[in-house]
Amino acid sequence: MVSSRASEVAELLWELKRAKKVATYSTLAKQAGFSAGMNGRTMATTIRTIRRDWPHLEWWRAISDDGLLPKESEQETKLRESGYEFEEAKGKRGSVVIKSMESHLMSWQQVAEAAAE
């Protein structure tokens, strides 16, 4: 049985895909109505469930709050294939971050404001 958290986040991942954006664990969890958990653990578990139950969803659009990704990870590869560019993470050997990450983050507030106009 799929958790309600996973269902909510799955819907948000679909929105991210349509918007061609990424979102942090905390932002996704807040939008879905729960806490990401300590160090994003609840969100990481939710993403594992989504990968298992809905493998077609672009789970890789959910990124840790610090934006760090292991260099040459599956997530980095998927994001590169989607057109994202990366740079070495300062002071974090073996990690990368999305270049100009702020410009790639989803803002549901902006979506809501645009819909209200």
Tokens of 16: 């991210």
What CATH number belongs to 4-116? Answer: 1.10.10.10
Helix, strand or coil for residue 1? coil
Instruction: Give the pLDDT confidence score for residue 117 in this predicted structure.
Output: 65
Task: Read off the pTM.
Answer: 0.88
Instruction: Give the pLDDT confidence score for residue 94 in this predicted structure.
Output: 93
pLDDT along the chain (117 residues), means of 10: 83 95 95 91 94 94 95 96 95 94 88 61
Where exactly are the structural domains of the chain?
A: 4-116
What are the strands, taking DSSP E only, across the chain?
A: 23-24, 62-63, 69-70, 86-88, 95-98
